[in-house]
Amino acid sequence: MTNKIKVEHLDFYYGNFQALKDINMDIHQNKITALIGPSGCGKSTFIKTMNRMFDLIDGTKATGSISFDGTELLDKNLDVVQLRKRIGMVFQKPNPFPKSIEENVLYGVKRHGDVPKSEWDELVKTSLKKASLWTEVEHKLNQSAFSLSGGQQQRLCIARALATKPEVLLMDEPTSALDPIATAKIEELLEELKKEYTVIIVTHSMQQAARISDYTGFFLNGELIEFGLTKTVFSNPTDKRTEDYITGRFG
């Protein structure tokens, strides 16, 4: 089992408030890791440390270590633009830009400027295919992204993230705004994506975590209470707090 990311003794603060407390976790390559826990437990904060999204918020501080293939992500001198190319993110609500479908896919690619223009058409096609959206949009690439349904918009956002050829995909409740059919399509897509990418997904749906992930981490009050194989966490958790949460008896 290859570790893609190794988190050691990670503490995170919003001002004086400590949002993450001594987190230790190994993220395995080409596996889906689900993070579960009640609102405000720190799971979204945790994935935002992975691509340094917290740099955008004043007064935040992270200590400890996040090693990504040997590169220290908390290093102040790290090129975060390059980092976010390697670690892409998909958010809770589909957030396409007010541009065409094609321009949305190419947005990050154009920004990074490292793919020749001659390869753009092929990149749009492969990214949309990987996001299982190609057959639905191949004849309307110039139409506005807003013409798509919510589920299609979210897959477009996944295509946009894939176009920069990341190694890791961070997903923050990517299906919470979608209907069950669109959710099923994203989940099916994740099964395919993990062959090429390492996926970390925050979800409030216990069943989704159980269905799609290989590993599950349970967060509570900024602590990682339990982390292990999903099949173990959901069949025989070791911590009573995990048991209470996943069986709906929390609090």
Partner 1 sequence: MVRIDVEIEEFKAEINLMASKVRKMFVLALEVLHTGNKEKALSIVELDEYVNNANEEINDKAVEVLSLLAPVASDLRIVIAGIKISTDLERIGDYAKAIARFVIKNDDLDPQLLPFVDPIGNKFITFFDETMKAYASRDVKLALDLPSRDDEIDSEFKKMINYIEKLTEEKKDITALVPTIGMLRNIERAGDHTKNICENIIYEIKGQHYDFG
Number of neighbours of residue 91 by Cβ within 10 angstroms: 16
Tokens representing residue 111 in the block: 């920004």
Q: How far is the CB of 233 from partner 1 (least distance, A)?
A: 8
Which CB, 32 or 47, lies closer to partner 1? 32
- Does 210 bind partner 1 (CB under 8 A)? Our answer is yes
Q: How far is the CB of 244 from partner 1 (least distance, A)?
A: 9
- Does 55 bind partner 1 (CB under 8 A)? Our answer is no
Burial track 238-251 (b if 16+ CB lie within 10 A, e otherwise): eeebbbebbeeeee
Total residues at interface with partner 1 (CB under 8 A): 13
Q: Which of 3, 14, 17, 16 is nearest to 65 (CA)?
A: 3
Which CB, 98 or 248, lies closer to partner 1? 248
Which CB, 77 or 207, lies closer to partner 1? 207
Q: Which of 24, 90, 3 is nearest to 226 (CA)?
A: 24
Restricting to residues 217-236, which ones interact with partner 1 according to CB under 8 A?
234-236
Q: Which of 185, 227, 167 is nearest to 34 (CA)?
A: 227
Contact between 172 and 44 under an 8 Å Cβ cutoff? The reply is: yes
- Does 166 bind partner 1 (CB under 8 A)? Our answer is no
Q: How far is the CB of 145 from partner 1 (least distance, A)?
A: 35
Which CB, 197 or 218, lies closer to partner 1? 218
- Does 2 bind partner 1 (CB under 8 A)? Our answer is no
170: alpha, beta or left? (left if phi > 0; alpha if psi -120 to 50) = beta
Binding residues vs partner 1 (CB under 8 A): 206-207, 210, 234-237, 242-243, 246-249
